[in-house]
């Protein structure tokens, strides 16, 4: 088989890229290790930046998003029993975020794939990028027990943090920057109305908590937990008591409890691999970088990467201009590092660290109090949270 762009991975990065290329008339094939149900079933991101929403609209895939997505013009911070709102729209000249789950985004992208000629091979095993240092790369894989080869011009590794794309890059070329946090997030989904119509990020002495949602009748809550904790340690009653304590009496007033139907623990990590291109192999999304979820940036970064990559490929095929491909890594990384900084900073502001002494705790509270009283500080949060431009 032959195509122009072989895309490894059908997560947000891979599928957005496939749709953008299909719209530009550039032939591509997506190789995905799992089934559609598996990819779509993963409970992950909940908050879409403006740019992500705009891209869904540009692709004509925003009908459900416009009908069901919840537009949030502000977000809330809680500490020491106090809650304050950051009015993102007022501070950024009208920008907002939209709450619309990654599962919904994936459903929209998968539903539109076949009608738009987006080719996806599910359950592709043993996928390997090959010869990307030369002029005729390919991807070998096994489908239905049969060995296959997909010849191509370029390979886009959109295969997440544990994928084969980054692993195939020569170790002496790749530079990795990493911070692993000494805690994780325990998240639940429950069909109860959210405690607040907007998100609440809470810093409590016992640890971080987040009140989020998927709809007006479905809540998503998180509490910071130690890395040694297990889901079995957290029956629903314990979870509800803990989230109520950490949100504080004002923010938790009106908290509706109910049975959870999803419960999982995710570790927190900051990670960047440079460069994001070697020869004809390009990395995009979690394959190249990870952020802690505090800033709600992970999926949005995957989308901004592939917007840049699709643009570069369009210029290559349409205008015989390779400057976009040559500049892709530097352009993408410039935005990635800013989102890394925001996510790292917001994590430090809101979480309890095991080695935190009383001074460090006082510094956190002082910073929150400062932010509460400063329009300048709130503007910094607002413009990062709604998403930085694709410069
Ligand atoms: P994905 O989603 O991991 O998709 C990669 C795909 O590649 C496939 N794959 C392979 N296919 C073929 N061969 C191989 N060898 C392969 N290896 C892997 C995988 O099966 C998979 O389908 O990466 P992508 O596309 O870069 O997208 C990244 C996002 O999924 C991720 O950044 C976000 O979910 C992060 N995230 C959030 N992002 C936001 O923008 N806003 C949020 O509010 C937000 N909240 C979150 C999050 C992630 C979380 N967890 C659990 C990690 C909350 C949580 C709890
Ligand atoms: C979510 O709803 O899953 C969510 C919201 C905001 C975050 C992270 C996750 O910062």
State the average pLDDT over residues 382-391.
95
Distance CA 318, CA 349 (A): 46
The one-character DSSP state at 119 is: E
pLDDT in tens, 279-316: 999 999 999 999 999 999 999 999 999 999 999 999 99
The rounded mean pLDDT for the chain is: 97
Residue 11 lies in a domain: yes
The confidence score (pLDDT) of residue 179 equals: 98
Write out the two tokens for 150.
């997909």
CA of 175 to the centre of ligand 1 (A): 21
Q: Is 207 in the pocket of ligand 1 (CB under 6 A)?
A: no
Residue range 256-282, pLDDT digits in tens: 999 999 999 999 999 999 999 999 999
Active site residues: 72, 201, 293, 297, 385
**CB of 49 closer than 6 angstroms to any ligand 1 atom:** no
pLDDT tens for each residue of 351-375:
999 999 999 999 999 999 999 999 9
* pTM of the full structure: 0.97
Q: Assess if residue 165 is contained within a domain.
A: yes
Closest CA to 48 of 109, 97, 103: 97
- Residues 113-128: pLDDT tens digits? 999 999 999 999 999 9
What's the structural domain count of the chain?
1
Distance between CA atoms of residues 205 and 57, nearest Å = 42
Q: Are 31 and 121 in contact (CB under 8 A)?
A: yes
Q: At what angle do helices 298-319 and 323-350 cross, to 10 degrees?
A: 170
User: Which of 334, 364, 337 lies closest to 349, judged by CA?
Assistant: 364
Query: What is the arithmetic mean of pLDDT over 172-195?
Result: 98
Q: Is residue 374 part of a domain?
A: no
pLDDT confidence tier of residue 25, bands split at 50, 70 and 90: very high
For residue 165, give its domain range: 5-50+100-177+269-347
Tell me: the pLDDT tens digits for 196-235?
999 999 999 999 999 999 999 999 999 999 999 999 999 9
pLDDT at 81 over 90: no
Calculate how far, in angstroms, residue 302's C-alpha sits from the geometric centre of ligand 1.
Answer: 9
Spacing, Cα 286 to ligand 1 middle (Å): 6
Q: What mean pLDDT is predicted for residues 167-193?
A: 98
Does 371 map to a domain? no
Q: Is the pLDDT of residue 391 over 90?
A: no
* % residues pLDDT > 70 (the chain): 100
What is the reported pLDDT for 279? 98
- The CATH number of the domain holding residue 277 is 3.50.50.60
Asked if residue 260 is part of any domain, the answer here is no
Give the model's pLDDT for residue 74.
Answer: 98
Protein residue closest via CA to atom 5 of ligand 2: 46
Q: Which helix (H) or strand (E) holds 15?
A: helix 12-23
Question: Which residue is it, tokens 């002082």?
Answer: 366
* Residue minimizing CA distance to atom 7 of ligand 2: 296
Instruction: Please state, as a whole number, how many other Cβ atoms lie within 10 Å of the Cβ of residue 341.
Output: 14
Any domain includes 252:
no
Residue 151's φ and ψ, nearest 5 degrees, are -80, 145
Q: For residue 372, is it within any domain?
A: no
CB-based contact 347:181 (threshold 8 Å): yes
8 Å CB contact between 203 and 84: no
In a domain, 304, yes or no: yes
Average pLDDT over residues 132-158: 98
pLDDT band at 389 (very low <50, low <70, confident <90, very high): very high
């Amino acid at each position: 088989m032959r195509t122009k762009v072989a895309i490894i991975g059908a997560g947000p990065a891979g599928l957005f890229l496939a749709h953008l290329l299909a719209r530009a008339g550039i032939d591509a094939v997506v190789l995905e290790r799992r089934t559609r149900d598996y990819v779509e079933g993963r409970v992950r991101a909940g908050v879409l930046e403006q740019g992500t929403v705009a891209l869904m609209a540009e692709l004509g895939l925003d009908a459900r998003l416009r009908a069901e997505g919840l537009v949030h013009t502000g977000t809330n911070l809680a500490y020491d029993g106090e809650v304050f709102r950051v009015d993102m729209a007022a501070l950024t000249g009208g920008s907002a975020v939209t709450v619309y789950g990654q599962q919904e985004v994936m459903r929209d992208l998968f539903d539109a794939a076949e009608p738009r000629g987006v080719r996806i091979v599910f359950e592709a095993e043993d996928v390997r990028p090959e010869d990307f240092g030369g002029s005729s790369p390919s991807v070998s894989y096994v489908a239905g027990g049969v060995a296959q080869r997909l010849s191509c011009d370029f390979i886009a590794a959109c295969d997440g943090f544990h994928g084969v794309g980054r692993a195939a890059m020569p170790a002496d070329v790749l530079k990795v920057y990493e911070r692993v946090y000494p805690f994780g997030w325990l998240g639940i989904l429950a069909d109860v109305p959210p405690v607040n119509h907007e998100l609440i990020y809470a810093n409590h002495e016992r640890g971080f908590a987040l009140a989020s949602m998927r709809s007006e009748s479905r809540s998503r809550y998180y509490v910071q937990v130690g890395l040694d904790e297990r889901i079995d340690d957290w029956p629903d009653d314990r979870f509800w008591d803990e989230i109520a304590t950490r949100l504080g009496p004002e923010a938790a007033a009106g908290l509706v409890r109910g049975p959870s139907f999803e419960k999982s623990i995710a570790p927190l990590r900051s990670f960047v691999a440079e460069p994001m291109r070697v020869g004809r192999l390009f990395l995009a999304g979690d394959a190249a970088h990870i952020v802690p979820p505090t800033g709600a940036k992970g999926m949005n970064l995957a989308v901004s990467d592939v917007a840049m990559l699709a643009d570069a490929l369009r210029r290559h095929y349409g205008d015989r201009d390779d400057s976009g491909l040559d500049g892709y890594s530097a352009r993408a990384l410039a935005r990635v590092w800013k989102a890394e900084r925001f996510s790292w900073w917001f994590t430090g502001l809101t979480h309890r660290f095991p080695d935190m002494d009383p001074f460090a705790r006082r510094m956190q509270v002082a910073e929150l109090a400062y932010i509460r009283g400063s329009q300048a500080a709130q503007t910094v949060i607002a413009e990062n949270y709604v998403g930085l431009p694709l410069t």
